[in-house]
Chains A and B, each alone.
Chain A
Amino acid sequence: DVKVTQSSRYLVKRTGEKVFLECVQDMDHENMFWYRQDPGLGLRLIYFSYDVKMKEKGDIPEGYSVSREKKERFSLILESASTNQTSMYLCASSSVTGDTEAFFGQGTRLTVV
């Protein structure tokens, strides 16, 4: 069974903390994504990566960075967490060809206080 695993389901962090969200996939997918989900806004792409050490900005990259040192792992980093980054974060992976769907993790609900 294919799987995308996010390291935490729930996180509570303080304003100004550096926060790491980890994602691992076991499907040998080239592409990995970080989305942010907020009510009424759907899923918005933060960053994506199409290869190890490669990354591209999505629609809302401000305040975030990413790291992909290994093919199976994609990390989202909040350099200095702020309350407006309280949200649900979803990781996904997909094959390099355009006709395959993305597989999603269970999500991490981050609260910044």
Chain B
Amino acid sequence: AQSVTQPDIHITVSEGASLELRCNYSYGATPYLFWYVQSPGQGLQLLLKYFSGDTLVQGIKGFEAEFKRSQSSFNLRKPSVHWSDAAEYFCAVGHSSGGYNKLIFGAGTRLAVHP
């Protein structure tokens, strides 16, 4: 069955430090992969997505993610975190079946940023 694992429930980093959020997936075919961010009390906003091609994907707000098929991973990175990056981050895999698609989400990683 398809699944997404985000091993870190909470992460705290200092402003200006680098960030890596981990995501592992289980999926039988080539996956469609997504990272979403959710600010407090808000809906989800797409940060970036991977469908095919270059395994290093650039997104909004200075984020990037790298697809590693051998490790079934799609980790999110940012070289220098800003206080406004404090939020919850969700990794998701797209599953297509019968002509329709749906997203399977990980449990999320809550990021806190120290000044």
Q: Is the CB of B43 within 8 A of A105?
A: yes
B45, B90, B99, B106: the one contacting A96 at CB < 8 Å is B99
Interface membership of B32, Cβ < 8 A = yes
Q: Majority SS of interface residues in chain A? A: strand
Q: Is the CB of A45 within 8 A of B102?
A: yes
- Count of interface residues, chain A, beta-carbon cutoff 8 Å: 30
Q: Is the CB of A43 within 8 A of B32?
A: no
Q: Is the CB of B42 within 8 A of A107?
A: yes
Size band of the B side of the interface?
A: 20 to 34
Q: Majority SS of interface residues in chain B? A: strand
Q: Is the CB of B99 within 8 A of A43?
A: no
Q: Is the CB of A41 within 8 A of B107?
A: yes
Residue of A nearest to B52 (CB): A99
Q: Is the CB of A98 within 8 A of B32?
A: yes
CA distance A60 to B51 in the complex (A): 28
| A106 and B101 in contact, given A41-B107, A43-B90 (Cβ under 8 angstroms) | no
Interface membership of A74, Cβ < 8 A = no
B42, B44, B94: the one contacting A98 at CB < 8 Å is B94
For the complex formed, measure the closest distance between the CB of A48 and the CB atoms of chain B, giving whole angstroms.
6
Q: Which residues of A contact B (CB under 8 A)?
A: 4, 30-31, 33, 35, 40-45, 48, 50, 56, 58, 90, 92, 94, 96-99, 101-107, 109
Q: Which residues of B contact A (CB under 8 A)?
A: 4, 6, 9, 32, 34, 36, 41-46, 49, 51, 90, 94, 96, 99-108
